[in-house]
Structure 1
Amino acid sequence: MAELNGEPVGLGQLQNLALTNYGHFTTMRVDDGRVRGLALHMERLRRDCRTLFGVDLDPRRVRELARRAVPGTGSTTVRVTVFDPGLDLGHPATAKDPHVLVTSRPAGELPLPPLRVRSVTYARDVPEVKSVGLFASLHHRRQAQLGGFDDALFVDAAGGISEGGTWNIGFFDGSQVVWPDADSLAGVTRELLKDAHGHVTRPVRLSELATVRAAFATNAAIGVRAVSRIDGVDLPESHEIIDTLRTAYAGIGGDVL
């Protein structure tokens, strides 16, 4: 399913998005018409719209458009993409008429198998925005997969860990969850899980991995996914903290879309 401002979308309307790659989005897992952290998803869209286009986005209108893509029962992954079809590549400052593209697909079964990730020195452009510009993230993911891993983990020049290309990462030090203090996207799932267990936010470096008890990735589509390998460091494929966070996340009551 794909609609632009509530109407079937044509190829010509998507041309600008494909050629300029300027816009932002959020992805929501909808279970029986409900979304965990719906207010956070809507606030992200409003915030990013102001950042990229300088105008406000009506969350009620977005919810109305997104609701059209959701069946009454079952689980669906809905992506809301905001872009301006009239954007001029030479004059992006004139882009002030964002449209709402809604696409949907069946949601995958959870939990997913553990991730094996390879670190790469990289930081996303404007990391606080969930941008449609995924070239570098997909390139690094591809290179990691060609090297025998599942995905890439972004670090700075000093080995400070930030995030994955489309997910946040968390660690368990034996007593509390540790979220990396670094420039990254404030994922909705990460923010919801901060109330699920004692946690701290501080810098985390690759050199600390030998002392880590468990690691996990989070986003709305995957929930909580174990990370079983980072570079040459093996981590448990299952751990009590991961079970605890999964149970807590599953127990969060979603809001009606």
Structure 2
Amino acid sequence: MTTPPPHIEIDGTPAAEPALLAALLTGFGHFTAMQVRDGRVKGLALHLDRLDRSTRELFDRELDGKQVRELITGALANAGRRDASVRVYVYPGIRTVVTVADPAPDAPGAPQRLTTIDYWRPAPHIKHLGGFGQTYHGEAARRAGFDDALLTSPYGEIAEGAVTNIAFWDGTSVVWPSAPCLTGITMALLEPRLESVRRPVTLADLPGFRAAFVTNSRTIAPVTAIDEVTFAVDEELMERVFAAYGAVEGETL
């Protein structure tokens, strides 16, 4: 790892902790994002496992889950919140940063229109930093009038949304693309609670599906279009998806 410079300034003001700032500026690290409600988190154990697993892979160190929970509860207390959107970042030197923001709406997300882009995230199994590519393509999609980008291979195999997982409904099963992607916590909670399968999904397959939806830590939302292919919102399907997620008990921090 590069030795941090001994002196860093921000808008002409010396940074209070140059070593910490240098770690944050590397762009190398990973994170997890969660919704906290009354001090509880759906899939908390999965979040802690993700953080530990990625820390071991990137930094060859373990990350103490108890310490992470204490950092989150401390940050929530300092922010005076019981409900919040929380992110936990891990940087070189195992510097752990917790951010606390307004909670995401608990209501279902608005229907989304997606456009496809030939791009797969590097090391997609890690929720890593430095997501320039997916942010770039997501912003380009919104400027073009879509809600987000859908990442595909050069051969049209679908992987994931820029910041979401995507699932399709064939009338019998919920189909999650099996291409390399990040297994989001919401996806991980829903997959065993729905009649789900994982298999390759290509752009050529889209007309054969009856519906689609996306998931991440902030939303579950139906998809009404992918490029020129349109989908009806299957209200019965979405009710089952929301009910499955709603039945997941939050774990106490």
Please give the TM-score of this superposition, normalised by the length of structure 2: 0.88
State the match for 1:177 in structure 2. 174
2:150 to 148, 153, 173: 153
Is the contact made by 1:169 and 1:179 (CA closer than 8 Å) also made in structure 2? yes
Please tell me whether residue 186 in structure 1 is matched to residue 194 in structure 2.
no
Tell me how far apart the structure 2 counterparts of residues 10 and 64 of structure 1 sit (CA, whole Å): 24
Please give the TM-score of this superposition, normalised by the length of structure 1: 0.87
State the match for 2:244 in structure 1. 248
**1:29 counterpart letter in structure 2:** Q
1:219 to 213, 216, 237: 216
CA displacement at 1:70 relative to structure 2: 2.6
Q: Secondary structure at the match of 1:68?
A: helix
State the match for 2:134 in structure 1. 137
Tell me how far apart the structure 2 counterparts of residues 248 and 51 of structure 1 sit (CA, whole Å): 32
Is the contact made by 1:17 and 1:23 (CA closer than 8 Å) also made in structure 2? no
Tell me how far apart the structure 1 counterparts of residues 81 and 63 of structure 2 sit (CA, whole Å): 28
Aligned length: 236
* Higher deviation after alignment, 187-196 or 70-79: 70-79
State the match for 1:48 in structure 2. 54
CA displacement at 1:49 relative to structure 2: 0.4
After superposition, the Cα gap between the structure-2 partners of 1:149 and 1:14, relative to the gap in structure 1 and judged at 3 Å, is farther
**1:234 counterpart letter in structure 2:** T
Tell me how far apart the structure 2 counterparts of residues 215 and 10 of structure 1 sit (CA, whole Å): 48
- Is there any run of 5+ residues in structure 1 with no aligned partner, and where? 1-8, 85-96
Task: Provide Cα deviations, 1:188-225, integer angstroms capped at 9, x if missing partner.
Answer: 11111012211111000111111111111111221x21
Tell me how far apart the structure 2 counterparts of residues 123 and 74 of structure 1 sit (CA, whole Å): 36
1:233 to 199, 210, 229: 229
**2:70 counterpart letter in structure 1:** E
Tell me how far apart the structure 1 counterparts of residues 113 and 22 of structure 2 sit (CA, whole Å): 35
Q: CA RMSD in A?
A: 1.7
CA displacement at 1:101 relative to structure 2: 0.1
* Higher deviation after alignment, 142-151 or 14-23: 14-23
After superposition, the Cα gap between the structure-2 partners of 1:189 and 1:10, relative to the gap in structure 1 and judged at 3 Å, is farther
Q: Secondary structure at the match of 1:70?
A: helix
Tell me how far apart the structure 1 counterparts of residues 213 and 75 of structure 2 sit (CA, whole Å): 30
Instruction: Describe how 1:203-214 pairs up with structure 2 within 5 A.
Output: 203-214=200-211
After superposition, the Cα gap between the structure-2 partners of 1:226 and 1:13, relative to the gap in structure 1 and judged at 3 Å, is farther
Is the contact made by 1:31 and 1:73 (CA closer than 8 Å) also made in structure 2? no
Tell me how far apart the structure 1 counterparts of residues 210 and 17 of structure 2 sit (CA, whole Å): 48
- Among all aligned residue pairs of Structure 1 and Structure 2, give the percentage whose two residues are the same amino acid: 40
Q: Secondary structure at the match of 1:145?
A: helix
Tell me how far apart the structure 2 counterparts of residues 233 and 12 of structure 1 sit (CA, whole Å): 50
**2:48 counterpart letter in structure 1:** M
Is the contact made by 1:214 and 1:239 (CA closer than 8 Å) also made in structure 2? no
State the match for 2:66 in structure 1. 60
Tell me how far apart the structure 2 counterparts of residues 74 and 102 of structure 1 sit (CA, whole Å): 15
